[in-house]
Structure 1
Amino acid sequence: MQTFKEHAAAFATYFSTRHFPESPATLYEPGEYFLSWGGKRIRPVMCLMGNELFGELNPDSFEAASAIELFHNFTLIHDDIMDAAPLRRGMVTVHEKYGQNTAILSGDVMLIRAYEHIAKINTLYMPRILQLFNRTAREVCEGQQLDIDFEQNSSVSLDEYIEMITLKTSVLLAASLETGAILGGASEGNCRHIYEFGKNLGIAFQVQDDYLDAFGDPEKFGKEVGGDIRQNKKTFLLLHALAVSSPEQQQQLYGLMMRNPADKVAQVLDIFRACNADEWARELKEKYLAQALRHLDEIAVLNVRKAPLKELAEFLIQRDQ
């Protein structure tokens, strides 16, 4: 059994090639530029790990993992356009560097390239994987639209937010694992459990991300904390604070969101702490991590085969950056 790092190195080698034709360069170079940034490649590596949980690595798992990585990067290019983001990972975003119209087309052709990888998968597995991929792609778009809708909604419930996070973030992690499991010959029951493992892990990961943005150590987190607060993002922390705070605290929170004073982050964090939002978020993260691990336990393979996924889950959720 290989570790996450070993799988990541193998995928990086496989993926470190040119992905698009050379002409027209105005269409294809932006995609090559974006993919050259690298990243943790968590989703494609989860596909490989999902495969190896059930058997020897199927060569088609690298095709599926490439499709997943290309799809994920397609969503990031379009997300940056919708957010009018000037930077990602410290680099100039595609729409800022090449223009919005070219960025849209470059994202579109990246999605098409993903389907070309799926088309190479053995026909024994391809129908199930294509169905899963299409459903996941549709759900990710639904989650993104809900996120956009929430920016305009004055009231969003915790359940609504969890649904949005599940669709926007978690289902792709879950589908990556299940795709690998299908290629590894897993039964339907095992596929269902590994999907639920990934889905719950994704929710726990987002809770941790929201928590770190507010309460993380800037030196370890790699960026200034409070970005979500400054942008008035409806995070787990804000929704909990609005649900349990006093009328006076609610009024103060809404006022801070409208006025954006210089000390806004400090004032909001004070309210979060007064509402025990920090402790609540830690407990919520552990709840979803426990649910994920329960599904991993239910998978009918030897525990030694599950160890790399369990280690990865605990690393992702216990991280401080």
Structure 2
Amino acid sequence: MQSFEQLSSQFGSFFNQAHFPAQPESLYRPAEYFLGLGGKRVRPVCCLMGNELFDEILPDTWQVATAIELFHNFTLIHDDIMDKAPLRRGLETVHIKYGEPTALLAGDVMLVVAYDYLNKVKSPHYHRLVSLFNTTAKEVCEGQQLDMDFEKQDTVSLDAYLHMIELKTSVLLAASLKLGAILGGAGEGNLHHIYEFGKNLGIAFQVQDDYLDCFGDPSKFGKQVGGDILSNKKTFLLIRALETAQGKDQQDLQALLQSNPPDKVQQVLRIYKNTGVDQWAVQLKNQFMEKALQHLDDIAVLSKRKEPLRQLAHFLVQRDY
């Protein structure tokens, strides 16, 4: 069994090619620019790991992993537009560098090319793979819409937010693992457990992401720290703070949601610390991590074969960037 780092290096070599034609350069250069920003490539590598958990990595899996990575980057380009994000991985987002119309088209064409890679698959499981890919793609869009809907709502329950995160973030990680496992010949029970492992890991990952947006080191995190606060984005931390803040903290938080003073981020962080939501978020992350690891334990393969996935899980939820 290979580690995440080993497979990530191999995938990087495979993925580092021209995915688009040369012309029109004004469309395809922005798409290649965004792919060139890099990233952890967690989802495509999870597809490879899901395959290798049950069998040797098949040629088809590299095509599916590439489709996953292109789809993920398509969502990021569009998310950045919707979030008005200035930075991605420490560099200008596509819509800032090239304009929103071009960014929209660059994302669109990235999605189309993702299906070009899926069409290269020769596996007898092809239709099952495409069905899962499509279901997941729709769920990610549903999650993003719910995320935007929440911005207009005064209150959002923790359960509603968890459902949104499951759709927007977790299902793609879970499906990446399951797609690889399907190609590896996994049975139904194992497919269930590897999907649930990925889903719960994805939620823990998002809790950590919300936490880092507020308390991370901007030089490591690669995004604008406090961006969620400035946009009044409903996150685990804000929802919990709205539920638990009392007295002046509650009044101040409500006032800050209606205004944008220069020190808004610092004021909200003070309230978060007063209400203990920073510590609560760490506990919540650990709860979902434990659920994920239980499902990993329940997969019916030799324990040593699961070790790379166990190591990856710990890395994702303990990272500081």
Q: Compute the TM-score of the two structures, normalised by the length of structure 1.
A: 0.95
Counterparts in 2 of 1:79 and 1:217: CA distance versus 1, 3 Å: closer
Identical residues among aligned pairs (%): 63
Is residue 263 from structure 1 mapped to residue 266 from structure 2 by the alignment?
no
**Residue 273 of structure 1 corresponds to which residue in structure 2?**
273
Tell me the distance in 1 between the aligned counterparts of 2:20 and 2:221. 34
**Residue 91 of structure 1 corresponds to which residue in structure 2?**
91
Q: Alignment partner of 2:229: what SS? A: helix
Q: Alignment partner of 2:258: what SS? A: helix
Task: Note the C-alpha offset of 1:210.
Answer: 1.4
Counterparts in 2 of 1:80 and 1:263: CA distance versus 1, 3 Å: closer
Task: Note the C-alpha offset of 1:22.
Answer: 1.7
Counterparts in 2 of 1:132 and 1:58: CA distance versus 1, 3 Å: same
**Residue 297 of structure 2 corresponds to which residue in structure 1?**
297
Aligned length: 321
**Residue 141 of structure 2 corresponds to which residue in structure 1?**
141
Amino acid of the residue matched to residue 206 of structure 2?
Q
Counterparts in 2 of 1:139 and 1:3: CA distance versus 1, 3 Å: same
**Residue 65 of structure 2 corresponds to which residue in structure 1?**
65
Amino acid of the residue matched to residue 279 of structure 1?
Q
**Residue 237 of structure 1 corresponds to which residue in structure 2?**
237
Contact 2:60 2:123 in 1 (8 A): no
**Residue 21 of structure 1 corresponds to which residue in structure 2?**
21
Tell me the distance in 2 between the aligned counterparts of 1:84 and 1:217. 21
**Residue 127 of structure 1 corresponds to which residue in structure 2?**
127
Q: Alignment partner of 2:279: what SS? A: helix
Tell me the distance in 2 between the aligned counterparts of 1:89 and 1:221. 8
CA RMSD of superposed structures (Å): 1.7
Contact 2:87 2:223 in 1 (8 A): no
Deviates more, 1:217-226 or 1:159-168: 217-226
**Residue 246 of structure 2 corresponds to which residue in structure 1?**
246
Task: Note the C-alpha offset of 1:82.
Answer: 1.9
Deviates more, 1:58-67 or 1:73-82: 73-82
Counterparts in 2 of 1:158 and 1:24: CA distance versus 1, 3 Å: same
**Residue 104 of structure 1 corresponds to which residue in structure 2?**
104
Amino acid of the residue matched to residue 197 of structure 2?
F
Counterparts in 2 of 1:218 and 1:20: CA distance versus 1, 3 Å: closer
- Which structure 1 segments of 5+ residues have no match? none
Tell me the distance in 2 between the aligned counterparts of 1:110 and 1:221. 25
- Which structure 2 segments of 5+ residues have no match? none
Counterparts in 2 of 1:104 and 1:266: CA distance versus 1, 3 Å: closer
Q: Alignment partner of 1:259: what SS? A: coil
Tell me the distance in 2 between the aligned counterparts of 1:272 and 1:58. 47
**Residue 81 of structure 1 corresponds to which residue in structure 2?**
81
Tell me the distance in 2 between the aligned counterparts of 1:102 and 1:279. 41
Task: Note the C-alpha offset of 1:218.
Answer: 4.8
Amino acid of the residue matched to residue 66 of structure 2?
S
**Residue 313 of structure 2 corresponds to which residue in structure 1?**
313
Q: Compute the TM-score of the two structures, normalised by the length of structure 2.
A: 0.95
Counterparts in 2 of 1:131 and 1:56: CA distance versus 1, 3 Å: same
Is residue 46 from structure 1 mapped to residue 46 from structure 2 by the alignment?
yes
Counterparts in 2 of 1:214 and 1:77: CA distance versus 1, 3 Å: closer
**Residue 188 of structure 1 corresponds to which residue in structure 2?**
188
Amino acid of the residue matched to residue 16 of structure 1?
N
**Residue 30 of structure 1 corresponds to which residue in structure 2?**
30
Deviates more, 1:210-219 or 1:239-248: 210-219
Task: Note the C-alpha offset of 1:273.
Answer: 2.1
Tell me the distance in 2 between the aligned counterparts of 1:249 and 1:305. 49
**Residue 115 of structure 1 corresponds to which residue in structure 2?**
115
Contact 2:67 2:114 in 1 (8 A): yes
Task: Note the C-alpha offset of 1:260.
Answer: 2.5
Tell me the distance in 2 between the aligned counterparts of 1:216 and 1:34. 23
Counterparts in 2 of 1:311 and 1:89: CA distance versus 1, 3 Å: same
Contact 2:249 2:271 in 1 (8 A): yes
Amino acid of the residue matched to residue 122 of structure 1?
K
Counterparts in 2 of 1:265 and 1:94: CA distance versus 1, 3 Å: closer
Deviates more, 1:291-300 or 1:99-108: 99-108
Tell me the alpha carbon deviations over residues 231-272 of structure 1, each in whole angstroms, 9 at most, x when there is no partner. Answer: 222111111111122254222101122233333333322222
Task: Note the C-alpha offset of 1:227.
Answer: 2.9
Q: Alignment partner of 2:20: what SS? A: coil
**Residue 12 of structure 2 corresponds to which residue in structure 1?**
12
Task: Note the C-alpha offset of 1:230.
Answer: 2.5
Counterparts in 2 of 1:202 and 1:255: CA distance versus 1, 3 Å: same
Counterparts in 2 of 1:6 and 1:109: CA distance versus 1, 3 Å: same
**Residue 227 of structure 1 corresponds to which residue in structure 2?**
227
